[in-house]
Amino acid sequence: MTGSMSFPRHGDKQNSSFFEDYLARLLEERDHSGLTDMIDQIDAIMITVDPGNSIRYIGELTLMTPYHYLVTLESKSHWTHILRIDMNSPDLLVREVKDRRTRGIFRSLNEVYPIGARKPNSRYMGEILRVEDTHKVVECQQAREFRFFSQDDIRKHELPGNLAVVKPSPYTHNIVGYLERPLGDIRVYALGISSIKPEVQEVYLAAKELQKKLRIDTLILPIDHLATRIYSQNREVAILEWLSLSSYYYWGSYDIRDQNSSTNVTKSVHHDSEILSPAKVFTANNTPYFVNHLERLPSPTETFVRNYGPRLHHIALAVRDGETGGRENIEHVVSQIAAQGRDFLLDVIGSRDQGLKQIFSSASEHSSLIIEYVQRFDDFQGFFAKDNVAELTHAAGVEEELVELQARSQIEAGKPH
Ligand SMILES: [Fe+2]
């Protein structure tokens, strides 16, 4: 039996006794009931974008990541494009809503947030986890009071019919789906009519050609971690909820005092390498927004959540350790992509001595998601250096302030936004 509490703890952030007590109780019970062994890796992640954005977003993603375009599934009100690296790393499902007026639960999660509402259909939806027996997992999770979409809801929302999908988390607004797939079987999504769309194939092939020309095609590795931002008061419950839904364990939390926030990491019990199942990271402010006037502390994380809603903030991709053309690979990748007109929020930060180098791209205009690149040196196991995280968080906050200002000036000028 896998012992989910047997992994070494990292970090310096203090948790409450509520968290520590329930962490042990929840994981011991999860192991004991067999659920830890019934749930395996992140098999896919899902993103929805507004009408007219998916093809350009796929152009962006296939240039900046190792993903390949596989096929498009067409249902009544969505196109769902399937991107894949191989069967060892999660698929990426990019859904486009056909009609701007489409309403639904996922859209409503954006609508109460001032900046989230500007791209009402664009949001990261969540992860699909591979299971051996959906029925058993659903039964166990329902006994833990998790609520699932009915088969009818799944049809209505045009989600793949072969998934069991938990309703959006009150803390992260993400969903978790379970996909029954015996190891060795190919991933299939039961949704609509499948075809290879020539217009998608064209941008995909052009991006892969460009990757080769820029000599970055073998340097960018699969997803390393997925980082979700949540309200300060939800830090502990969001972690515990995710651990209850998955077979991940609590790796540890770092206090990023400079930015008044913390970074909290969970990892797969079954896979040591993030390439096989990305780490899930949660970032939360240390203090809620309404004490800012007393404390005068920076609060970029809380501000982000207030503007966009709790949601995924960035997808981090690993960069192969090594050098190309006399520069560290991450420097080479970033300068080659930046030369194509893609902005990055700051220079590459970190060092070999700190164990890793990292950078954030600017947020995609299609999904609002940031791409992080991370190069680890000599088998470094960590996710960040504290100084790096403070700088990254600060830079992302500055960009969001600009977006907020633009949004406000457009509203004031009465322009459509
Ligand atoms: Fe990150």
Q: 20-34, 353-367, 372-386: lowest mean pLDDT where? A: 372-386
Contact criterion met (CB below 8 Å) for 264 and 215: no
Examine the domain organization and report whether 217 and 269 are in the same domain. yes
**pLDDT > 70 fraction of the chain, expressed in percent and rounded:** 97
Kindly state whether residue 374 falls inside one of the protein's structural domains.
Answer: yes
Examine the domain organization and report whether 200 and 224 are in the same domain. no
Q: pLDDT tens across 235-294, in order?
A: 999 999 999 999 999 999 999 998 899 999 999 999 999 999 999 999 999 999 999 999
Domain closes at, from 155, 179, 211: 211
Neighbours of ion ligand 1 (CB under 5 A): 227, 316, 372
Give the distance (Å) from ligand 1 centre to CA of residue 118.
25
Domain closes at, from 211, 246, 264: 211
**Tell me, what CATH number does 273's domain have?**
3.10.180.10
Asked if the model's pLDDT at residue 409 lies above 80, the reply is: no
Domain closes at, from 211, 237, 261: 211
pLDDT given for residue 273 in this prediction: 93
Q: What is the count of structural domains for the chain?
A: 2
Examine the domain organization and report whether 112 and 68 are in the same domain. yes
Examine the domain organization and report whether 127 and 172 are in the same domain. yes
Q: How far apart are CA 245 and CA 169, in angstroms?
A: 10
Kindly state whether residue 24 falls inside one of the protein's structural domains.
Answer: no
Give the distance (Å) from ligand 1 centre to CA of residue 132.
30
Examine the domain organization and report whether 199 and 233 are in the same domain. no
* Residue 396 banded pLDDT, cuts 50, 70, 90: confident
pLDDT given for residue 1 in this prediction: 64
Kindly state whether residue 31 falls inside one of the protein's structural domains.
Answer: no
Q: What angle do CA 165, 167, 169 make, to 5 degrees?
A: 120
Kindly state whether residue 98 falls inside one of the protein's structural domains.
Answer: yes
Examine the domain organization and report whether 207 and 244 are in the same domain. no
Asked if the model's pLDDT at residue 74 lies above 90, the reply is: yes
Contact criterion met (CB below 8 Å) for 309 and 112: yes
Q: pLDDT tens across 43-61, in order?
A: 999 999 999 999 999 999 9
Kindly state whether residue 20 falls inside one of the protein's structural domains.
Answer: no
Kindly state whether residue 23 falls inside one of the protein's structural domains.
Answer: no
Q: What separation in angstroms does the CA of 170 have from each of 146, 151, 167, 176, 228? A: 11, 21, 9, 12, 13
Examine the domain organization and report whether 250 and 348 are in the same domain. yes
Contact criterion met (CB below 8 Å) for 66 and 319: no
Q: How far apart are CA 305 and CA 171, in angstroms?
A: 11
Give the distance (Å) from ligand 1 centre to CA of residue 358.
8
Examine the domain organization and report whether 98 and 179 are in the same domain. yes
pLDDT given for residue 417 in this prediction: 43
- 75 lies in which domain range? 37-211
Give the distance (Å) from ligand 1 centre to CA of residue 225.
7
Examine the domain organization and report whether 311 and 229 are in the same domain. yes
Q: What separation in angstroms does the CA of 245 have from each of 26, 50, 97, 146, 205? A: 11, 28, 28, 9, 37
Examine the domain organization and report whether 310 and 176 are in the same domain. no
Asked if the model's pLDDT at residue 41 lies above 80, the reply is: yes
Give the distance (Å) from ligand 1 centre to CA of residue 227.
6
Examine the domain organization and report whether 200 and 229 are in the same domain. no
Q: 56-60, 100-104, 120-124: lowest mean pLDDT where? A: 100-104
Give the distance (Å) from ligand 1 centre to CA of residue 268.
17
Kindly state whether residue 390 falls inside one of the protein's structural domains.
Answer: yes
pTM beyond 0.75? yes
Examine the domain organization and report whether 50 and 105 are in the same domain. yes
Asked if the model's pLDDT at residue 414 lies above 80, the reply is: no
Asked if the model's pLDDT at residue 91 lies above 50, the reply is: yes
In the predicted model, what is the mean pLDDT of the chain? Answer: 93
